[in-house]
Amino acid sequence: MNDVKYNEGTTERRQYILSPVDGEIIKESQIIDKVFQEKLFGEYVCIHPKSRKLLSPVSGIIEKIEKYEHYIIIRSDLGTKIWIYLGAYAISLDGRYTKVVVSEGDRVNAGDVLIICDFEEIERLGYEIKIIMSVINQDNILDVISLSKEDVKGKDKILVVIFAMIRDKLMW
């Protein structure tokens, strides 16, 4: 599922980040918010959800659930911090239509349910629905590459993180 690949003969290491929902990819050019346009939270992917369950994109530990439940941070087993943002509507709705099923400190596996959300009802109320998932720490990361297509299913590989590695021996 959320596998780590090593390229033979190199020091490159990769971690695949899975889609947290079924949905339609929203192109970066359609994102109005300058915070995301300028990638202040790092490389990201934006999805218009078509499923009710928000899944863990990696295996790791739930590091933070914001008190209004509009974002969650997961630290993967390799140390990658993934920020999943539901949107400011979660604050306005005061937790109605969402149910967080994990707690800070919980261990999760890639594909585990994190939140159940009635996105259809929230959208019916007039809120713009989009899930933004970002790699927020860049320590030891060479690159984050989007693998996204137009439509994704929960658990599809959607981002790949390329880590920097320190060689065992220096080559002179």
In which residue are the tokens 């007039």 written? 126
| CATH no. of 4-163 | 2.70.70.10
Q: What is the pLDDT of residues 57-75, one digit of tens each?
A: 999 999 999 988 889 999 9
Q: What is the pLDDT of residues 87-103, one digit of tens each?
A: 888 888 988 999 999 99
CA torsion angle for 16, 47, 109, 100 (degrees, to 10)? 160
Q: Computed from CA positions of residues 160, 66, 39, 51, in that sequence, does the dihedral angle turn out positive or negative?
A: positive
The rounded distance, in Å, linking the Cα atoms of 50 and 165 is: 37
Ordered by start, the domain boundaries in the chain are 4-163
Indicate whether 52 pLDDT > 50. Answer: yes
* Single pTM value for the model: 0.85
